[in-house]
Amino acid sequence: MVKLVGRRAVYMAATMLAASLFLFLLFELSPQEVVVNALGPYSTAEQRQAWLLANGYNRPASVRYFDWLGHFMTGDWGRSRVLGAPVAHLVWTRLENTAILGFWFFVFLVPLALGLGVLSGMREGSPLDRIISTLCIVSASIPPFASTVLVSAIFVFSLHWLPGTSSMIDGFSYRELVMPVLVLVLYDFGYVARITRAAMSEVMTTAYMRTAMLKGLPHRRIIVRHALRNALIAPFTVLMLHVNWLIAGVIVVEFFFAYKGFGSLILEASLGHDLFLLEACTMVTVAIAVTTQTVADLVYVYLNPRIRFR
């Protein structure tokens, strides 16, 4: 186990390093593009020259890369040109807000999706299974941007139950959190429920389930003790890997509801050509993705004794 953790850690670091090189080559290889980004298209040639010299862009690209990497690793991520604040500060405050959103998302998603998946996987082909499966495939087919609009058309514009923006101008409010969480859950529960259903129906056909049934154990006990434990391994790893997928939904939802989170920060950075901010945000998403993948792998090994003891 220790060896596995060590190997995964090295692998994580290597992926991050490769990602940083990719970003550097994409955005910082040509100093001209960097300076136009920093000073705007109407800056004069002298201004640009002075800026390039002052910021060390006259050095060769390889030196600049290691310099950039060093600054990045020590938490010096530069200043945001558009928002006029240190990038690190922006990223951390926005990440906090997105973490709140993500927390409530998982609180509602996990029981709903796993519950529906187990229910429909228990008796494959039953009417209940058909209803749940149809519901899941329809919900997974409505893109998050369409469901934001549809859901707010119902709850905000027709019924006037909930606020249509979640900018939290007057301080934190749970009422403003309802819509973003609802849209994210609507889009995602179908996918997770389908994975759970597949895992559950596979478990239901195994020999140990048949043995338990033939022994005459109560149905409840068979499901809870024997089936669930084995069926939930796959959905758990899927949930972890889902963080990566969640980021896309978060960007859309935060943009639409004007929620001041990390997703809208990435988008602002991209639309405003805010180079340092975009680089930092992308690196953070890669870090999140790689970490959750690693955790998912390790937990999978831990939960599955057939792999753990090999």
Partner 1 sequence: MTDAPVLSNETAAPHGSTPIGRVLRSVARLRRSRVGVVGASILVFWIAVALAAPLLAPFPPNQPLQPMAPPGTHAVGGTGVFWLGTDHLGRDLLSRIIWGARTVLVIAPLATLSAFIVGVSAGLIAGFKLGWLDELLSRVTDLVLAFPALVLYIVIISKFGASALNIVLAVTLASSPAVMRLTRGLVLELRNRAFVSAAQLRGESLWYIMVVEILPNARGPLIVDACLRLGYVTITIGTLGFLGLGLPPPDPDWGGMINETRQFALVFPYMVLFPCLAISSLVLGFNLLADGLRELSLQD
Residues that bind partner 1 (CB under 8 A): 15, 18-19, 22-23, 26-27, 137-138, 140-146, 149-150, 152-153, 157, 164, 244-245, 247-248, 251-252, 255-256, 266-267, 270-271, 273, 278, 281-282, 285-286, 289-290, 293
Three-class SS of residue 78? coil
Give the C-alpha separation, 15 to 192, whole Å. Answer: 27
Q: Around 79, how many Cα atoms within 13 Å sit in the side-chain half-sphere?
A: 8
Looking at the Cβ atoms of 287 and 299, the one nearer to partner 1 is: 287
Give the C-alpha separation, 190 to 235, whole Å. Answer: 12
Looking at the Cβ atoms of 91 and 212, the one nearer to partner 1 is: 91
State both tokens at 185: 């859950």
Q: Which of 179, 166, 221, 230 is nearest to 200 (CA)?
A: 230
Looking at the Cβ atoms of 55 and 270, the one nearer to partner 1 is: 270
Residues in CB range of 103: below 8 A, 6 or more apart: none
Q: What is the largest CA-CA distance in the chain?
A: 86
Q: Can you point out the beta strands (E) in 138-197?
A: none
Looking at the Cβ atoms of 226 and 268, the one nearer to partner 1 is: 268
Work out how close the CB of 145 gets to partner 1 at its nearest, in angstroms, rounded to a whole number: 4
Looking at the Cβ atoms of 57 and 255, the one nearer to partner 1 is: 255
Looking at the Cβ atoms of 9 and 150, the one nearer to partner 1 is: 150
β-bridge partners, 86:
79
**In contact, 166 and 100? CB cutoff 8 Å:** no
Looking at the Cβ atoms of 5 and 213, the one nearer to partner 1 is: 5
How far is CA 103 from each of CA 6, 69, 140, 250, rounded to the nearest angstrom?
A: 29, 31, 21, 12
Residues in CB range of 219: below 8 A, 6 or more apart: none
Give the C-alpha separation, 255 to 7, whole Å. Answer: 38
Q: Which of 174, 147, 150 is nearest to 162 (CA)?
A: 174
Other Cβ atoms less than 10 A from the Cβ of 119: the count is 18
Give the C-alpha separation, 277 to 137, whole Å. Answer: 37
State both tokens at 307: 């792999």
State both tokens at 72: 């990045």
Work out how close the CB of 54 gets to partner 1 at its nearest, in angstroms, rounded to a whole number: 24
Looking at the Cβ atoms of 97 and 285, the one nearer to partner 1 is: 285
